[in-house]
Amino acid sequence: MILNNHKAFTLAEVLITLMIIGIISSIVIPALIQDSQNIEFRTAWKKSFADISNASKLVSQEYAGNLTGTCSSHVCIRDLYKTYFSYTRLCNGSTDVIGNCWNTDGAKGLNGGTVLTPAWFGGAALAMNNGQFFYFETDASACNPICYRFVTDINGFKGPNTMGKDIYYAYIFNNGVVKPKGYDTTLLCPSGNGYDCSTKYLYSN
């Protein structure tokens, strides 16, 4: 007589195994998606910073390497730089910028608070062909040594609309050099409001 001695899993064992796999997947997969998104955001920030730096160098060359006194209005600044970008829309002032060249929430911080209210965006902006937003504003110090402020939302209207994730901030100096916000501070990133992440993620691998 031949006996069949094949081993097999019971239905209960299969169900338990599937349940364990499901639990592990629900923990691991969202984290992997978030990591991938963060890498994508930071790569886009580096590209945007390189673009604005190159444009600023060219603008500076037009004025013999000194941006002091070149512009007294936000629109003037934006128009100096727009020549070097492909854009779909120009926006002036908060009532035009918000909803057209920036999301309606302004900018949230990593700590959950609002760091830039919609009313703050009183400068001038570009809605780029690739969906990004470039925002320009004069600096109160009148080019001593910072001339202009530059803020970008690298994925436009899409979320999370958070400083240090998809929104980054930089300064344009009177010699045309662009430096990320946080360049001169002890970095608080990813803790804090997210401003300093503009520097950390720009220079990280």
* Model confidence band, residue 8 (pLDDT cutoffs 50, 70, 90): low
Output the DSSP codes for the chain: ----------HHHHHHHHHHHHHHHHHHHHHHHHHHHHHHHHHHHHHHHHHHHHHHHHHHHHTTT--TTS-SSHHHHHHHHHTTS-EEEEEESHHHHBTTTB-TT-EE-TTSSEEE-GGG--SEEEEETTS-EEEEEE-TT-SSSEEEEEEEETTTTSS--BBTTTEEEEEEETTS-EEETTTTS----SSTTSTTHHHHHHH--
Q: Report pTM.
A: 0.83
pLDDT in tens, 85-104: 999 999 999 999 999 999 99
* Model confidence band, residue 176 (pLDDT cutoffs 50, 70, 90): very high
